[in-house]
């Protein structure tokens, strides 16, 4: 008899029929002997409908009242799911974030969870009830409704699992787990049974958008085993846990990639201390996020400086950089918005040399030119011409035998 927190996203509860399906599934899980706490999102489309109304009525809807509005989305779902469970003869009780009490700070629209009161939930579970909690929301210590921002329901689920000391936090979504890479690019991609928090963070931030980064960080911090699985098909999904030394780690867990980037280079900048912030300061001032940054030693006491941004910010960043170049007396500014990034991720990398050279060799064999390289403890990223993205990912997936159950 284990306590499990399950989270169902907007698509999983998008229609009355889908909610009824989730209810049936919950009853089956309860019959297996589990104590269940269920976190749900707003029905898909509902949040957009509410935001649409807000935009019609206010030029910049935000703050306290936007949270009052948006939080109704999940409140509708918890009530409907509880009514669906009652229809199946199962006792259920729903709670809004305020009712639980999920205490947050008072940063409306992107609040952070401070504390969760577990008393009511434990009392309901002891009575054999299924507890249904509204994701994405809480309240500050004055009772004002707050919301957690994008992907907030995942965070609610993980935080609840931590507070309730649940055995597992299961995130039901429209994919059946985390794959070695995107199966649309590599048909041989394999679902991973298990992966570490660190690897998942690198995979998620690199574009494998299954879980919100914040919820993975939260799970890692409180060591909550997290499982990603499909609400539409059967299967054990992928379990995300802390690294276990007893496990024989594969060198590489997966390959992430991203084609939404663009790179900019400023050439022949006078090389003196503080030059990096002089270049990136004006970019940050325009609210443009920078991803990779590389500085090469140049000649004649100048330096070349390259960074990548989201492709949507490319034109804007280029204008900013050209201005900076004039001010600093740089030689030239170049840019390329037809690039892609490929990253190998794996905790096994730590204890094994030679990953990087195998990667570079594999790409060279396919005549793919690498224009930027960046490494971290469990990740190697390269920037290449966008048109070689699929070829690169496929050859790396093969080279590292990721389609094998026991890869290199």
* Footprint of its own copies (CB under 8 A): 16, 19-20, 50, 53-54, 56-59, 61, 64-66, 68-69, 71-72, 75-76, 78-80, 82-84, 86-87, 92-94, 96, 98-99, 143-145
Cβ 37 to its own copies shortest distance, Å: 16
* Main-chain phi, psi angles of 375, to 5 degrees: -130, 150
Cα–Cα distance for residue pair 335/58, rounded to 1 Å:
38
Q: H or E segment at 358? A: helix 355-365
User: Nearer Cβ to its own copies, position 10 or 254?
Assistant: 10
Cα–Cα distance for residue pair 173/9, rounded to 1 Å:
6
Q: For residue 209, how many other CB atoms are within 10 A of its CB?
A: 12
User: Nearer Cβ to its own copies, position 64 or 408?
Assistant: 64
Asked if residue 164 lies in contact with residue 125, where contact means CB atoms within 8 angstroms, the answer is: no
Cβ 164 to its own copies shortest distance, Å: 19
User: Nearer Cβ to its own copies, position 71 or 306?
Assistant: 71
Cβ 22 to its own copies shortest distance, Å: 11
User: Nearer Cβ to its own copies, position 50 or 164?
Assistant: 50
Cβ 116 to its own copies shortest distance, Å: 15
What is each CA distance from 121 to 47, 98, 252, in whole angstroms?
A: 26, 13, 40
User: Nearer Cβ to its own copies, position 87 or 376?
Assistant: 87
Cα–Cα distance for residue pair 238/241, rounded to 1 Å:
10
What is each CA distance from 377 to 36, 198, 242, 346, in whole angstroms?
A: 37, 10, 16, 9
User: Nearer Cβ to its own copies, position 91 or 221?
Assistant: 91
User: Nearer Cβ to its own copies, position 75 or 303?
Assistant: 75
Helix (H, G, I), strand (E, B) or coil at 295: strand
Cβ 378 to its own copies shortest distance, Å: 44
Burial code (b: 16+ CB inside 10 Å, e: under 16) for 307-319 equals: bbbebebbeebbe
Cβ 73 to its own copies shortest distance, Å: 8
Count the alpha carbons within 13 Å of 21 in the hemisphere toward its beta carbon: 14
User: Nearer Cβ to its own copies, position 11 or 205?
Assistant: 11
Cβ 35 to its own copies shortest distance, Å: 20
Cβ 351 to its own copies shortest distance, Å: 52
Cα–Cα distance for residue pair 19/74, rounded to 1 Å:
13
Give start and end residues of each alpha helix (H) in 101-247: 119-126, 152-164, 197-205, 213-222
């Amino acid at each position: 008899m284990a306590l499990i927190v399950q989270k169902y996203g907007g698509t999983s509860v998008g229609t009355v029929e889908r909610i009824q399906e989730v209810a049936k599934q919950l009853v089956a899980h309860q019959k297996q002997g589990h104590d269940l706490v269920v976190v749900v999102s707003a029905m898909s489309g509902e949040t957009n409908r509410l935001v649409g109304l807000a935009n019609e009525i206010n030029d910049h809807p935000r703050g306290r009242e936007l949270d009052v509005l948006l939080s109704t989305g999940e409140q509708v779902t918890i009530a409907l799911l509880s009514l669906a469970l009652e229809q199946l003869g199962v006792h259920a009780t729903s709670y809004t974030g305020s009712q639980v009490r999920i205490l947050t700070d008072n940063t409306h629209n992107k609040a952070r969870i401070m504390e969760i009161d577990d008393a009511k939930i434990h009392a309901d579970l002891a009575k054999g009830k299924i507890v249904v909690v509204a994701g994405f929301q809480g309240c500050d210590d004055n009772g004002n409704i707050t919301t957690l921002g994008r992907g907030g329901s995942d965070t609610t689920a993980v935080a609840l699992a931590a507070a309730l000391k649940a055995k597992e936090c299961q995130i039901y979504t429209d994919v059946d787990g985390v794959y070695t890479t995107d199966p649309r690019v590599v048909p041989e991609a394999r679902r991973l049974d298990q992966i570490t928090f660190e690897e998942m963070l690198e995979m998620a931030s690199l574009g494998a958008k299954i879980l919100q980064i914040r919820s993975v960080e939260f799970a890692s911090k409180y060591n909550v085993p997290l499982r990603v699985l499909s609400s539409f098909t059967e299967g054990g999904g992928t379990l995300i846990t802390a690294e276990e030394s007893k496990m024989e780690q594969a060198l590489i867990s997966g390959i992430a990639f991203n084609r939404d980037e663009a790179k900019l280079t400023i050439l022949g900048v006078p090389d003196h201390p503080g030059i990096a912030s002089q270049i990136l300061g004006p970019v940050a001032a325009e609210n443009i996020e920078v991803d990779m940054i590389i500085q090469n030693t140049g000649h004649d006491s100048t330096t070349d400086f390259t960074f990548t941004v989201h492709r949507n910010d490319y034109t804007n960043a280029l204008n900013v950089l050209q201005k900076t170049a004039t001010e600093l007396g740089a030689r030239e500014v170049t840019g390329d918005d037809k690039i892609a990034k490929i990253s190998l991720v794996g905790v096994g990398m730590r204890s094994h040399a030679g990953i990087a050279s195998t990667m570079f060799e594999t790409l060279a064999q396919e005549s793919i030119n690498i224009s930027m390289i960046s490494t971290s403890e469990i990740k190697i990223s390269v920037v290449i011409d966008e048109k070689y993205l699929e070829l690169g990912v496929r050859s790396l997936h093969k080279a590292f035998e990721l389609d094998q159950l026991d890869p290199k």
